[in-house]
Structure 1
Amino acid sequence: MASFAIKVTRLALKTVAAFSPETAGQLAFRLFSITPSRKPKSGKEKAALAAAEPVMARARLVTLSFAGGWVTAKHFEARSAGGPTKRILLVHGWGSCSNYLAAMIDGLTAGGAEVVALDWPGHGASPGRTLTMPAAVRAVDAAWRQFGGFDVAVGHSFGGASLACAAGGVVDDVPSHVARKMVLIGAPSEMTWLFKGFGKYLRLSAKAQAALENMVVRLSGRRLEEFDAARILGMLITPVLVIHAQDDKEVSADHARRYAVAGDNVQLEWANGLGHRRIVSAAPVIARINAFILAETVDRRKAA
């Protein structure tokens, strides 16, 4: 059953739409873009943030500016030297922050990688209360300009889709940025389902729904359908590792299957039993990503 607040929101949007579907769609987009509270929602989240403090204390904070705002990046040096250091761009999901990726940061730096972890706008140490996919792509562009590119890009959930969209150059005035290897964890494969689901939840009229989706065009110069992460990755030659749990209740495993058939450069591995959030801290998942990175080094040596 819908909450009282949702019922009021639906009624308000219906009333506005009767006079201006365009305005109703724009208001719905504002609601769609509002980021969740940064405060931990449970004792488990508080404990996770406390456990992350020793790792996050090693970070060097970097401010990255882009058109429309700025974000905080946390730069971690590699903790071991067994060969050429790989630079990794690591991004979290919606409603999360880089601190929740502390176990992965620790594992990747121990494996010999240099890690740059972003906090999206409206998340973690970055300012703001809203986040859109075009803003995420601009933040990735800012990181690329600051650090001179990345060997590997790793993203969880919304972060994974954002890296794919950044690789596809789907924001008109932002160049595409493709890492030499990519890892997507529990990531949605396209954005249309989110917008359609949100519009259905708010019971938007067809015209208001069209106005909601048109906001993507106004912000990026591209239609919503072009933010298709699976299609984008399938057109690349860069190796992509998709890790997903079939028991993920937030992003259906069908998204992982869609990635898997997108192109020969994409490989899918299941991490069943880890759901949507525990997957980023699981030792086997971190070990698999490190192996994926190491395999790139071995392949290049063979090619030489």
Structure 2
Amino acid sequence: MVETDSDPNVTGSGVEPPVSPEVRHRFSLLEQYAPGEGARWATELWCTPPVVEMSLRMPPGVPPSTPVEAFWEGHRIAGASWGAGEPVYLVHGWGGCQAHLGTFIKPLVEAGYRVIAIDLPSHNDSEPGDLAPGRTTLIECAKAVQAVVDEFGPARAIIGHSLGAKAAAFAVAWGTSAQRLVFLAPMGNFPVYIDMFTARHGFGPRIRDGLSRRLEQRIEMPLADTDISVIAPRADNPPLLIIHDPDDPDTPYETSEEIVGIWPNAKLVTTKGLGRLAHYRLLRHRPALNAALEFISD
């Protein structure tokens, strides 16, 4: 379970913008008098990627890219490509962008791989899916990953951060070809996040239960089935490397331990001392980068 601060409006690393007192007050009233309306509003907020306070610029040394695109169910996914060789796909997390995994690009290109980074649905330059602009779901993100790999060829590896790791896991479970998977602080099990979301927005069990029902209707599957642990025991899963820091307040380190324990041919690399911003510092952490490169090239 992810611990939260004494102020329920501040959860995780605090990279996401805070929820205003006005929004929290309105949710508290809806919890009492109109929980159905509160659940409807909460569902739209849940499906809206946040504005993450991190740079959209690529790190120094990344060579010029070539724009690429793919389509899933008629929706455009924007991306960029570097180098030549077997493809390695980079999949950012919720509210992220291509640049968040930019540190991996130059070393992978120098190692002889073609690197393809994408923007997930309703993120940056990619189009939304079936929901309103600015909204998406894990399932749509997984479909987008699947479409990109179908377009540009079987993956030597897919490197996914947070929700991007979960999207990659589901794409592979649906038949996407990948020889290796690298998960950076993969998104944990669903109850962790709905608890955090409930605390941040100041509503109670009536809206929480309605939100869960609406989300299951939207993705057409039980929320419990969205956990990586559900698909981890599959015998045909590719080898997996998870890199995670126990200080990470945004995704539970214990979930990574659980996944490695049941995923065939999986390994966990533990980083140390990345602090409250571990969830994002991991993306620029040299030992994490080196471990991923070694695993992909093995």
* Alignment TM-score, normalising by the size of structure 2: 0.81
Quick check: 1:154–1:182 contact (8 Å CA) kept in 2?
yes
Counterpart among 29, 49, 53 of residue 43 in structure 2? 29
| 1:302 corresponds to | none
Q: Which runs of no fewer than 5 residues in structure 1 stay unpaired?
A: 79-84, 170-175, 296-304
Q: Offset of 1:28 from its aligned partner?
A: 0.2
Counterpart among 280, 287, 290 of residue 290 in structure 2? 287
The percentage of aligned residue pairs carrying the same residue is 22
1:63 aligns with 2:66: no
| 2:203 corresponds to | 204
Output the CA distance in 1 between the equivalents of 2:135 and 2:110: 34
Q: Offset of 1:123 from its aligned partner?
A: 2.7
Quick check: 2:243–2:270 contact (8 Å CA) kept in 1?
yes
Q: Offset of 1:194 from its aligned partner?
A: 0.8
Q: How big is the alpha-carbon RMSD for the aligned residues of Structure 1 and Structure 2?
A: 2.6
Q: Offset of 1:16 from its aligned partner?
A: 3.8
Structure 1 consecutive aligned stretches of length 4 or more whose deviation exceeds 6 Å: none
| 2:130 corresponds to | none
Output the CA distance in 2 between the equivalents of 1:183 and 1:75: 19
Quick check: 2:83–2:113 contact (8 Å CA) kept in 1?
yes
Residues 267 and 130 (structure 1), Cα distance of their counterparts in 2 relative to 1, 3 Å cut: same
**Higher helix proportion (structure 1 or 2):** 1
Q: Offset of 1:155 from its aligned partner?
A: 0.4
Say which SS state the counterpart of residue 57 (structure 2) adopts: helix
1:160 aligns with 2:159: no
Q: Offset of 1:6 from its aligned partner?
A: 3.7
Output the CA distance in 1 between the equivalents of 2:97 and 2:213: 28
Output the CA distance in 1 between the equivalents of 2:270 and 2:37: 43
Q: Kindly provide the CA deviation profile for residues 33-77 of structure 1, in whole angstroms up to 9, marking residues without a partner as x.
A: 222337xx4xxx55x82644x52x522212222237322111222
Residues 23 and 36 (structure 1), Cα distance of their counterparts in 2 relative to 1, 3 Å cut: same
| 2:215 corresponds to | 216
Quick check: 1:156–1:185 contact (8 Å CA) kept in 2?
yes
Counterpart among 152, 155, 175 of residue 147 in structure 1? 152
Total equivalences in the alignment: 275
Of structures 1 and 2, the one scoring higher in RCO (CA 8 A, sep 6+) is 2
The one-letter code sitting in structure 1 at the alignment partner of 2:72 is F
Q: Kindly provide the CA deviation profile for residues 133-188 of structure 1, in whole angstroms up to 9, marking residues without a partner as x.
A: 1221121122123113322111011211221132334xxxxxx4252211101112
Say which SS state the counterpart of residue 186 (structure 2) adopts: coil
Larger Rg: 1
Output the CA distance in 2 between the equivalents of 1:245 and 1:17: 36
Say which SS state the counterpart of residue 117 (structure 2) adopts: strand
Residues 163 and 103 (structure 1), Cα distance of their counterparts in 2 relative to 1, 3 Å cut: same
Output the CA distance in 1 between the equivalents of 2:72 and 2:36: 28
What are the residue-to-residue correspondences of 1:99-114 with 2, within 5 Å? 99-114=99-114
